[in-house]
Every structure is written in C-alpha cells, then in structure tokens.
Amino acid sequence: MGCYVVIRHLPGITPEALTGAGLRAKSCATEMTEEGTPIQWLRSFFIPETERTHCYFEAPSADAVKEVNERANIPFSEIHEVQELVPDAL
Amino acid sequence: MGLLQVIARFDIVQIGPLTIDLEELGGALGDASQDKTDKIHNQKVVYSSDAVVVFERAAHIARRDNSPKVGLVHLLVAFAYEDNGLMAQLKEKYGFSGMEWRSALSKWQPISFDKGQAGSEIGAGRKSPMEFNQKQFFSPDEAAEFLDVHTQTIRGYIRTGKLPALRLAGERALRIQRDDLLALLEPYKPEEK
C-alpha cells in the first residue's frame, strides 16, 4: 500500500460542493474496498488562495486512486505517489 | 434505492406516515431494475452529474441544519427535489409531493450516515454483554448483534421459518425470544475423514 496525493484545481468551488465531493470520495472508496481494492481517503487540504486541493489516499496503486476519483466524479489534474513524513517518527 | 435499503426493515421503509414496500417497488421496477443491479455489480459505477447535485444539496441542507456532518436524512431530503428516476416513481406510486417527503423526514429519527458506512464505527453503538444478558426479547437488529451476524441473515431465518418470531399485536415490529436465538446454535462437529 502506498500513499498518494491527488491535486485538483477547483475554481469557484463552494463549501457545499467540497463536502459533496468528500462524501462521494468516501462512498466510492468504501465501494472499491468492498469489491477487493482496499483504498482509503485519508484527508484533504483546500488552499483557498489558489483554489487547489491536495487529497491524500492510501491505496495499492495510482490506478486505484485514479479510479476512485473517476467514480466519485471529482476532477483532478495530477496524481503522485508521496513519501510520508511524520514528526513522531523522526 | 441503496439509501432506502439502508433504512429498511424487512423490506419496508417507514418514514412518518409514509410506508414504502421495497419488495413491491423492486417488482414494479421490473427487469429494468434487475439490469441496473447487474450493471452495478459488473461495471465501474460513476456518479452522474445529477448525483453530484444531490450530494451538494445534501451538504447545503446539513449546513442549514447546523449539522457538523451530512447525515442520511440530509441525503434523503435532498432527493425530495428530484423529479426523475426512482424518486419520480415513488412520488407517482405513493402519491406524495416533495414537500410531503420532506415533512415526513423531519419527523423521522434517522440513523447516522457514518454508522452505515464501511464499518469504521462498527461496534460504537453496541450493547454490552450485561445488557444482552438481561434481555428476553430482541428486535431483529439486536438479534443480529447478539449472534454477530448480519440483520439480513436473521431476516432470512425468520422468512424461512428457521427462527420463530413474534409480532407485537397490531404492529409491524417483530420480537425474537432469547431461547429461540440460542436454539440456532449447535455444536460444531469436525467432519470425519
């Protein structure tokens, strides 16, 4: 399992639309996990100044992350595997 | 349909004065519904732009409701505005308007949306063994929890007569006796080689 970031540019997005997208991501991740592809939406950060979000997923592959976002109908521009650094581990 | 199945008891959805029979509804939807179900199981399902609108509407309703989370009831209310698909069929078949649907939901006690999801909080609302030890009669949900099986399994046992159930006089609610639940359990005998 790897950690992936999904970068989106969502100009003019409303708080409701962000919440709706989060709900869809959550339900599609559940659906894919039940189907045998374990995937989890970890958390997202929305940067109001740039209207971009960075959404983090734990998944077996970048393709799985792509699929969950397509199923949830949430636009994205980039998907990258990331290396996680946490203060407690250092 | 998925949302309705989550809140159904024995294929019956009871929201205030509205009673929806999912089995009958499924039959009325006929082959088209079956095709759709097959499609859902065999193909990647993508949320349509209509569904995106419903989710946003639910988020808006939850916000207006000062709710920190978008609940099942918010999603159900969001569907009140739909005049297509299943909601259109429900409105036609049961003769209610979007307003009546919202009104019925406002008087209904919903279950948390999260509780129905992927089991991240499974067990959070569970009863302690002590509470179960004192009970003589169980609702189907409690019976399922007691035996650690799915409610659908209990429903199946009741339907096929494997598990006796009692009906509260004049009510839809079913109760199962503790002894009948225990009688379902039998010693495991390893197969002889």
Sequence ranges of the domains in chain A: 7-78
> The domain containing residue B171 runs over which residues?
129-182
Angle at B138 between CA B146 and CA B169, to 5 degrees: 165
CA distance B141 to B120: 18
Lookup result for tokens 């199962």: B176
Model ipTM value? 0.75
For the stretch B15-60, pLDDT in tens is 777 777 777 776 555 444 444 444 444 455 788 887 888 888 888 8
- Residue B78 resides in a domain: yes
Contact call for A24 and B49, based on CB within 8 A? no
- Residue B64 resides in a domain: yes
Cα dihedral across residues B171, B117, B48, B79: positive or negative? positive
Do the Cβ atoms of B157 and B163 come closer than 8 Å? yes
Q: Say if residue A4's pLDDT is above 80.
A: yes
Q: Which 8-state DSSP code applies to residue B110?
A: P
Query: B48 at the A interface (CB within 8 A)?
Result: yes
* Domain-terminating residue out of B90, B116, B142: B116
Q: Identify the weakest region by mean pLDDT among B34-43, B79-88, B95-104.
A: B34-43
In this prediction, residue B119 carries a pLDDT of 31
Residue of chain A with shortest Cα separation from B61: A16
Contact call for B47 and A20, based on CB within 8 A? no
- Residue B191 resides in a domain: no
Residue B118: pLDDT band by 50, 70, 90 thresholds? very low
Report the gap between the CA of B55 and the closest CA in chain A (Å).
Answer: 5
CATH topology for the A7-78 domain: Alpha-Beta Plaits (3.30.70)
Considering the domain architecture, whether residues B31 and B111 belong to the same structural domain is answered as yes
3-class secondary structure, B16: coil
* Domain-terminating residue out of B64, B81, B116: B116
Considering the domain architecture, whether residues B106 and B136 belong to the same structural domain is answered as no
Question: How many distinct structural domains can be found in chain B?
Answer: 2
Q: Where are the beta strands (DSSP E) in chain B?
A: 12-15, 18-21, 137-138, 166-167, 174-177
Considering the domain architecture, whether residues B47 and B93 belong to the same structural domain is answered as yes
pTM: 0.56
Considering the domain architecture, whether residues B89 and B154 belong to the same structural domain is answered as no
- Residue B192 resides in a domain: no
- Residue B123 resides in a domain: no
3-class secondary structure, A60: coil
Residue B109: pLDDT band by 50, 70, 90 thresholds? low
Considering the domain architecture, whether residues B82 and B157 belong to the same structural domain is answered as no
Bridge partners (DSSP) of residue B20 are B13
